[in-house]
Structure 1
Amino acid sequence: MRALRISSIIFGVLVVLAIVGDRVALWIAEGEVASRARDTLGLASEPSVSVKGFPFLTQVAGGHLDRVDLGLDAYAAQVDGQTLTVSDLSVELEGVELTDGYTGAVAERADGGGLVSYEELTRAYGELLAVSGNGFGVEFGYAEGGRLLLTLQASMMGQSLDVGEVTGDIVLENGTLTLEVDEEEIPDTGGPEVQQAIRDQLDQEHTISGLPDGLTLDSVQPTQEGLALTVTGSNMTIG
């Protein structure tokens, strides 16, 4: 009986050591993946990394990781060349095959998303408008029903004019974004010239670029917190 107890204790210790070894290996690997992801995906800083599945060493031995999650508190993309900060950018990599003697990896599929606050969207859009110099301005917010609330301004003869508020939608098509509002909703404050300037500006197409290499913008959706972005990718090299 005593021998059985000793054997059980020894077995328990070995199991604990195996688990500890697996977790240590996982911790080291996550740090390595973070470093490689920063370089390969063109990130300014290392992302947080979480390798899912247990045991980790068994996955490595098979040369395949079920899922790897990457996360960044903030990521600097661009809209028509102007910086646009995407908050809480997270990407789930699925079907990650280890390559080149475990020094590289390719993810079969990537899905993720982030958030652009309305304050950030207003700031970036304002910089675009400043370049055009047409005296038009807009402040973004949320409207019920998953739409955008646009507070319009215009400048005439050096005077700032609050044109009014309209609701609209943001449309993603062929990689470009367009603001769409019903022309009937555009206030007539300021006269025909102001109305035409608003129409001309809203008709402009804009492109969000500079996302991590291998990811493309899949959808945009106004939420109460900001503009939610979803991104997708396939056969992404992350190491």
Structure 2
Amino acid sequence: MRALRILLVLVIVFGGLLVAADRFAVRFAQGKVADKVQESQGLDSKPDVSIKGFPFLTQVVGSSLDEVDINVGGLTATAGGHSVKVTEVRAVLKDVAIDSSFSSATAGEASGSARLSYTDLGQAAPKGATIGYAGPERAAKGQVKVSGAMTDVLKGADIPVPGPVEALLKGLDLTAYCTVSLKGGDTILFRTVDIADLPVPGLDDQVKGLIDEYALKIDRMPATIKLDRVAATPDGLQFSGKGTNVPLTG
């Protein structure tokens, strides 16, 4: 009986050592992958990498990881010299084929996501305008609302406003609805689909042109994170995308 107890203790201790070794190995690998992603993608800071699945070492032996989650933290988007935060930039990579040194890896399946709040978005909106939620019906069509004092928007865009026109527009607010789309996975485009009637002929076309020229470029979007869809939610713009055979490191 005493020998059995000793054997059980040895098994538990040995098992604990194996678990500890496995966890040490996964932490080491996560750091190495984070370094590679930062270097290959040109990121300012090291991303947070989490390798899922247990045990880790058996995955390494099989040269395939079940899942790797990468959180880049915050990136920036720029428009007209203004920068805003893009938050919750994340990639979930599955069936990741690796080599023994983690110098290269390819995900069989990948999904990416990011978020841009209306508050942050407003910091880079055309001067004098704000961008916000357009309501559930329009949001379902991928639309947002652009609004602001008409004279402020025109002056912010350096559009001449003669005295008589300014008097006519005094107290009038701009209300326009725009669709939002992604180009190239890193550029947010706005296209006006509906704008309230304005009392000055041709002014609505000028305002529409101003909005349609507005674009936000997300700086240094990692190639690992593929974004091709955008949804307008009550809190902001939610980006997502999926890909196959996506390289994790270069």
Please give the TM-score of this superposition, normalised by the length of structure 2: 0.78
Aligned to 1:192: 201
After superposition, the Cα gap between the structure-2 partners of 1:95 and 1:78, relative to the gap in structure 1 and judged at 3 Å, is farther
Q: Aligned-pair distance for 1:172?
A: 4.2
Aligned to 1:132: none
Aligned to 1:201: 210
Q: Aligned-pair distance for 1:174?
A: 7.1
Consecutive unaligned residues in structure 2, runs of 5 or more: 156-160
Of 157-166 and 228-237, more deviation after overlay is shown by: 157-166
Aligned to 1:235: 246
SS in structure 2 at match of 1:212: coil
After superposition, the Cα gap between the structure-2 partners of 1:46 and 1:166, relative to the gap in structure 1 and judged at 3 Å, is same
Aligned partners of 1:164 and 1:187 also within 8 Å: no
Aligned to 2:26: 26
Aligned partners of 2:90 and 2:225 also within 8 Å: no
Q: Cα deviation per residue 1:151-181 (whole Å; 9 max; x = unaligned)?
A: 1432225978753323343244676623232
Aligned to 2:234: 224
Aligned partners of 1:59 and 1:65 also within 8 Å: yes
Consecutive unaligned residues in structure 1, runs of 5 or more: 130-136
Q: Aligned-pair distance for 1:78?
A: 4.5
Q: Aligned-pair distance for 1:98?
A: 1.0
SS in structure 2 at match of 1:124: coil
Whole-angstrom CA distance in 1 between matches of 2:212 and 2:10: 73
After superposition, the Cα gap between the structure-2 partners of 1:157 and 1:17, relative to the gap in structure 1 and judged at 3 Å, is farther
SS in structure 2 at match of 1:213: coil
Of 158-167 and 116-125, more deviation after overlay is shown by: 158-167
Q: Are 1:140 and 2:131 counterparts? A: yes
After superposition, the Cα gap between the structure-2 partners of 1:57 and 1:64, relative to the gap in structure 1 and judged at 3 Å, is same
Q: Are 1:150 and 2:146 counterparts? A: yes
SS in structure 1 at match of 2:204: helix
Aligned length: 227
Q: Aligned-pair distance for 1:12?
A: 0.9
After superposition, the Cα gap between the structure-2 partners of 1:81 and 1:93, relative to the gap in structure 1 and judged at 3 Å, is farther
Aligned to 2:70: 70
The aligned amino acid for 1:139 is T
SS in structure 2 at match of 1:181: strand
Structure with the largest fraction of strand: 1
Aligned partners of 1:30 and 1:50 also within 8 Å: yes
Q: 1:48-197 residue pairs with structure 2 within 5 A?
A: 48-78=48-78, 83-99=83-99, 101-126=101-126, 137-145=128-136, 146=139, 147-152=143-148, 153-155=153-155, 156-157=161-162, 162-172=172-182, 177-182=189-194, 185-189=195-199, 191-197=200-206
Whole-angstrom CA distance in 1 between matches of 2:208 and 2:177: 14
Of 81-90 and 193-202, more deviation after overlay is shown by: 81-90
